[in-house]
Amino acid sequence: MATADITPAQPKGATGVLLLSDGTALWGKGFGATGSAVGEVCFNTSMTGYQEVMTDPSYAGQVVTFTFPHIGNVGTNDEDIESKVEGAIGCVVREEVTPQSNFRSQQEFTDWMAANGKIGLSGIDTRALTRFIRLNGAPNAVIAHEPDGKFDLPALLKKAQEWPGLEGMDLAQKVTRDAREDWGGGYCRLGHGYGHADWHDKPHVVAIDYGAKDNIFRNLVKAGAKVTVVPAKTSLEDILALEPAGVFLSNGPGDPAATGEYAVPVIKALLERDIPLFGICLGHQMLALAAGAKTVKMHQGHRGANHPVQRVGEGWGETSGLVEITSMNHGFAVDADTLPEGVEQTHVSLFDGSNCGISIIGKKAFGVQYHPEASPGPQDSFYLFEKFVGMLG
């Protein structure tokens, strides 16, 4: 494709570009790592937690548009990293990155982005980009940063157009850990850092890592569990050999149907053995697929820290109808219309009515689409960890 098909033309002084697959070029000032990366462009409406977002493995293969204009004000630190594996490939912001101003900060956001190989782009009309995504869906694009402002635009456009997109893509294998890990981290206390897990006489949870956030494991420990984390493709035999009291199914990136090709048979076998199960985000979708439901690609997805979710269905008692403020990050969802008999919908989004939770009747197995470990409420959803650990005996 000729350069003339890319619009608008590069303005003077631009050192970064977000080039959509339709040829639309969004020019700005690059920061962080140099070079280029291809992925899906999404938006996140959170006002805080940009470092947690950028290190969440669920964002693998994605460029995050931050709708909040002031990014960088609290800097970065080692405690707020969600995972050491690949998270978001880059981000787009409105204003130039704000200098750090927080007693916990150890490094400027721009320097941290460069050190972690992530490309940033400032000076973008993020409101217009967000409206574009809301109307047209999440586009494929290349984000690029070259300090000299020289770009091979036809090559970048070809890269964006040839990228297959997230639908049908299994990214869990890319971000899962390589080996089993006995989780030893406890909960964080301000000024004290992370404590150590107390495993004495605790029920044993085996957590399957499809791209997990570390804070999930800390919350399981806080709720009273001993946690062993295993790779995404761990066999049923190897899981059972660990003698779990329950199995946790983690969050992660990509298309749940693709990951489900190897994950669902294991989960079905665990259900047949009546082993308690708890899934979050992708893990919730894996549980739904194992129960016979289907998942769908969403038009724009849900990503933010202020999503209202309502408790529905039987079993909630006096708390039925209660609304939780939740943190979400997903571009696929469980299709509620495909939930089979014996699977109850327990939570729904008040934004669009999409499924946000299920429970399998007659089994100790449930899942939620949102992220209770992110504590946006701040404690609206911690009961889910207590509920799961309480099932383990």
Query: DSSP 3-state helix, strand, coil percentages of the chain (rounded to 5)?
Result: 25, 30, 45
Place of tokens 């101003």: 101
- DSSP letter for 210, please: S
For helices 282-291 and 256-272, the axis angle rounded to 10 degrees is: 60
The answer to whether the bond into 253 is cis (omega within 30° of 0) is no
- DSSP letter for 185, please: E
**Two tokens, residue 209:** 């890592």
**Which helix H or strand E contains 132, and what residues bound it?**
helix 126-136
What gap in Å lies between CA 260 and CA 359, rounded to an integer? 18
Neighbouring CB atoms inside 10 A of 301's CB total 22
User: Catalytic residue numbers?
Assistant: 281, 371, 373
What gap in Å lies between CA 337 and CA 293, rounded to an integer? 8
The answer to whether the bond into 8 is cis (omega within 30° of 0) is yes
